[in-house]
Amino acid sequence: MEIEYTCLDYYNPIEKACDLLKIVKMPLNRMRLANLQPYKNDNDLRKILTGILKDLDLSKRIEGIMPFNTNSPKYQSLLSEYIYYLEHLENHLEYNIWIDKLLAFHASNLIEEKNYIPPKQPKKKTTSGKSIKNAFYRRQTTDLFTNDTIYEYINPKTGTIIKSDNPNLCDKLNAEIEQNIKYNRARSHARKNQEKREFIRINTKPDFNKLKFKF
So what's the pLDDT on residue 204? 67
- Is the pLDDT confidence value at 207 over 70? no
So what's the pLDDT on residue 140? 75
List the helix and strand counts (H, then E) for the chain.
5, 5
The mean pLDDT value for 149-175 works out to 81
Q: How far apart are CA 158 and CA 184, in angstroms?
A: 17
Residues 78 and 158 grouped into a single domain: no
The mean pLDDT value for 132-160 works out to 75
The mean pLDDT value for 35-49 works out to 93
Q: Is residue 179 part of a domain?
A: no
Residues 138 and 110 grouped into a single domain: no
Q: Which helix (H) or strand (E) holds 170?
A: helix 170-203
The mean pLDDT value for 159-182 works out to 82
Please give the residue range of the domain that contains residue 86.
5-115
So what's the pLDDT on residue 211? 52
Mode of pairing for the β-strands spanning 17-24 and 160-164: unpaired
For the chain, the domain total comes to 2
Residues 110 and 12 grouped into a single domain: yes
What's CA 16's distance to the chain center, in Å? 31
So what's the pLDDT on residue 208? 55
Q: Is residue 192 part of a domain?
A: no
So what's the pLDDT on residue 146? 63
Residues 50 and 106 grouped into a single domain: yes
